[in-house]
C-alpha cells in the first residue's frame, strides 16, 4: 500500500526556489508515494490517517497549516524541511526549536558550512535528527549563456541579490568602494535605496528574457557576500550559466573545487582575491567552470535532491539523547525560548509605538 505524504511548501509556478522545490519534489516523490501538496500559508488543520507522513516548511504565522497540523496525533513521521543557518541571526531560527526538537527528522536545506559550524551554537542539539540537504538546479532552465571569459584586466563582477543584512549587501558595497579599478554591477530590487556611484545598478531583471540574458553574458563572475545565507541558488544558477561563482563561506558553500571563497569582513584579503581573478590566466577560470559542470551534473540535481528526501522518509528514527545531550538540549531550548520572547516583545513594542504615534497624531488633529 502506497504511503501518503502531506507536503507543505510554497505553491506556485516558477523555475526558481522556493517554487522549484515544491514542483520538482512533488513530481519525483509521486512515483512512489501519494503526495498531497498544501501551500505553507494556508490556515487549516490536517488530521492524519494511519500511516500518513507530514513533510514541509512551517510558516512564521502560528495559525498556518504546518504548525497546526504538526501537533495532531497519528502521524507516522513528522519531517521539518527548512533553509537553515544560525549565528549571527539566531533569533530568526529560534522560532523553529519546538518543531525541530519534536520532529522525527530535520531536513536542513543549507550548505555544509552551517552544519560544520553548529557545534557550539544554541542550536547544536538540532544535530541529533539533522540531515543536510544541498539544493539543486535544472540546467535546462538555466542554460549556458557565458561562453568566453573577458580578457585579463577587463573582467566584470555581478551580484544578484536584494539589499538585506543577512545577504551581506553592506560588505558587497564595501568591496565595490574599495576597488574602483574593478567593474561591479548589481541586479536586484530597490536600486533607488542604494547610494553607491561606483556600482552599476541594473535593477530587477527577469533572466528568462533574452535582453536580460544578453546583459548577463557580459559578466564573468557572480559575487555573493552572505553573512548568514543558507545556500543561495543564484550560486548554482550562475555556475550553470557559465560564470565563476565567488562567495563567502557564510553563503553556505565552502571548500569546493568549483567556486572561489572570499573571507567575510576582510576587505583587503577579499580585494586581493578579486584582483587575482581579474588578472589570472583564462585556463584557471576554465578549470573552475569544468569542475562546476561536473558538480552540477553529478550532485546538484533535482533527482539527487528528491532521493535524499525519500531516503529521509524511509530512514530509521534517530537515537534518543544521552543524558548529557539532553541537558545541553534543555539549556539551549531555554535560551532559544528567551530569544523568542525578546524578539516578540521588541516586535510588539515597535507596533505599540507606531499605534501610539498614530493615535496622538489623530488626537492632535482633532484638537486643531
Q: Which residues contact 183 (CB under 8 A, 6 or more apart)?
A: 154, 155, 156, 157, 200
User: Cα separation of 57 and 67, whole Å?
Assistant: 9
Q: Is the pLDDT of residue 13 over 90?
A: no
CB atoms within 10 A of CB 23: 18
User: pLDDT per residue over 44-81, tens digit each?
Assistant: 999 999 999 999 999 999 999 999 999 999 999 999 99
pLDDT of residue 162: 86
User: pLDDT per residue over 145-176, tens digit each?
Assistant: 999 999 999 999 999 998 889 999 999 999 99
Q: In the listed set 300, 332, 352, which residue is the last one of a domain according to the structure? A: 300
User: pLDDT per residue over 215-232, tens digit each?
Assistant: 999 999 999 999 999 999
Determine, yes or no, domain membership for 148. Answer: no
Distances (CA, A) of 242 to 165, 178, 236, 251, 287: 28, 27, 10, 19, 12
Q: Is the pLDDT of residue 359 over 60?
A: no
189 and 76 belong to one structural domain: no
327 and 229 belong to one structural domain: no
Cβ atoms of 189 and 161 within 8 Å: the answer is: no
- Mean pLDDT within 323-330: 92
User: Cα separation of 279 and 261, whole Å?
Assistant: 17
User: pLDDT per residue over 303-326, tens digit each?
Assistant: 999 999 999 999 999 999 999 999
Percent of the chain with pLDDT over 70: 93
Determine, yes or no, domain membership for 230. Answer: yes
Residue 345: pLDDT band with limits 50, 70, 90: confident
Q: Which residues of 55-70 are buried (b: 16+ CB within 10 A; e: fewer)?
A: bbbbbeeeebbbbbbb
- ∠170-203-258 over CA atoms, to 5°? 65
The crossing angle, in degrees rounded to 10, of helices 233-241 and 282-298 is 120
85 and 183 belong to one structural domain: no
User: Cα separation of 17 and 20, whole Å?
Assistant: 5
264 and 277 belong to one structural domain: yes
Domain of 236, CATH number, reads 3.40.50.2000
User: Cα separation of 71 and 92, whole Å?
Assistant: 22
Determine, yes or no, domain membership for 115. Answer: yes
160 and 295 belong to one structural domain: yes
193 and 86 belong to one structural domain: no
Determine, yes or no, domain membership for 39. Answer: yes
Q: In the listed set 300, 334, 357, which residue is the last one of a domain according to the structure? A: 300
33 and 131 belong to one structural domain: yes
317 and 196 belong to one structural domain: no
86 and 169 belong to one structural domain: no
User: Residue 175's domain spans which residues?
Assistant: 156-300
196 and 258 belong to one structural domain: yes
Q: Which helix (H) or strand (E) holds 223?
A: strand 221-224
pLDDT of residue 364: 53
Determine, yes or no, domain membership for 353. Answer: no
200 and 236 belong to one structural domain: yes
Determine, yes or no, domain membership for 355. Answer: no
Q: In the listed set 300, 323, 352, which residue is the last one of a domain according to the structure? A: 300
Determine, yes or no, domain membership for 194. Answer: yes
Within 13 Å of residue 323, how many CA atoms lie on the same side as its CB?
Answer: 0
pLDDT of residue 75: 98
194 and 289 belong to one structural domain: yes
Q: How many structural domains are present in the chain?
A: 2
- ∠253-90-336 over CA atoms, to 5°? 140
User: pLDDT per residue over 266-304, tens digit each?
Assistant: 999 999 999 999 999 999 999 999 999 999 999 999 999
Determine, yes or no, domain membership for 227. Answer: yes
Amino acid at each position: 500500500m502506497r504511503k501518503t505524504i502531506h507536503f507543505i511548501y510554497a505553491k506556485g509556478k516558477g523555475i526558481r526556489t522556493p517554487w522549484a522545490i515544491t514542483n520538482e519534489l512533488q513530481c519525483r516523490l509521486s512515483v512512489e508515494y501519494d503526495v498531497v501538496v498544501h501551500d505553507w500559508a494556508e490556515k487549516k488543520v490536517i488530521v492524519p490517517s494511519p500511516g500518513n507522513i507530514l513533510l514541509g516548511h512551517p510558516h512564521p504565522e502560528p495559525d498556518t497549516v504546518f504548525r497546526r497540523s504538526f501537533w495532531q496525533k497519528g502521524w507516522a513521521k513528522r519531517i521539518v524541511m527548512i533553509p537553515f543557518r544560525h549565528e549571527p541571526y539566531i533569533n530568526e531560527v529560534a522560532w523553529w526549536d519546538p518543531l525541530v526538537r519534536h520532529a522525527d527528522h530535520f531536513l536542513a536545506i543549507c550548505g555544509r558550512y552551517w552544519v560544520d559550524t553548529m557545534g557550539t551554537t544554541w542550536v547544536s542539539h538540532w544535530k541529533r535528527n539533522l540531515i543536510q540537504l544541498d539544493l539543486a538546479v535544472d540546467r535546462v532552465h538555466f542554460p549556458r549563456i557565458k561562453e568566453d571569459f573577458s580578457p585579463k584586466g577587463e573582467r566584470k563582477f555581478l551580484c544578484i541579490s536584494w539589499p538585506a543584512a543577512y545577504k551581506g549587501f553592506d560588505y558587497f558595497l564595501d568591496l565595490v568602494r574599495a576597488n574602483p579599478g574593478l567593474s561591479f554591477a548589481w541586479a536586484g530590487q530597490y536600486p533607488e535605496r542604494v547610494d553607491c556611484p561606483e556600482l552599476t545598478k541594473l535593477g530587477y531583471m527577469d533572466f528568462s528574457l533574452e535582453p536580460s540574458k544578453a546583459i548577463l553574458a557580459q559578466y564573468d563572475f557572480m559575487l555573493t557576500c552572505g553573512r548568514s545565507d543558507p545556500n543561495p541558488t543564484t550560486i548554482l544558477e550562475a555556475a550553470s550559466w557559465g560564470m565563476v561563482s565567488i562567495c563567502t563561506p557564510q553563503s553556505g558553500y565552502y571548500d569546493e573545487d568549483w567556486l572561489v571563497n572570499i573571507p567575510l569582513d576582510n576587505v583587503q584579503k577579499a580585494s586581493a582575491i578579486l584582483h587575482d581573478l581579474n588578472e589570472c590566466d583564462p585556463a584557471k577560470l576554465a578549470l573552475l567552470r569544468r569542475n562546476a559542470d561536473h558538480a552540477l551534473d553529478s550532485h546538484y540535481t533535482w533527482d539527487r535532491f528528491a532521493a535524499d528526501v525519500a531516503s529521509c522518509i524511509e530512514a530509521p528514527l534517530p537515537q534518543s539523547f544521552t543524558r548529557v545531550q539532553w541537558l545541553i538540549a534543555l539549556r539551549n531550548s531555554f535560551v532559544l525560548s528567551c530569544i523568542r520572547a525578546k524578539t516578540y516583545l521588541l516586535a510588539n513594542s515597535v507596533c505599540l509605538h507606531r499605534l501610539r504615534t498614530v493615535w496622538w497624531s489623530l488626537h492632535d488633529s482633532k484638537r486643531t
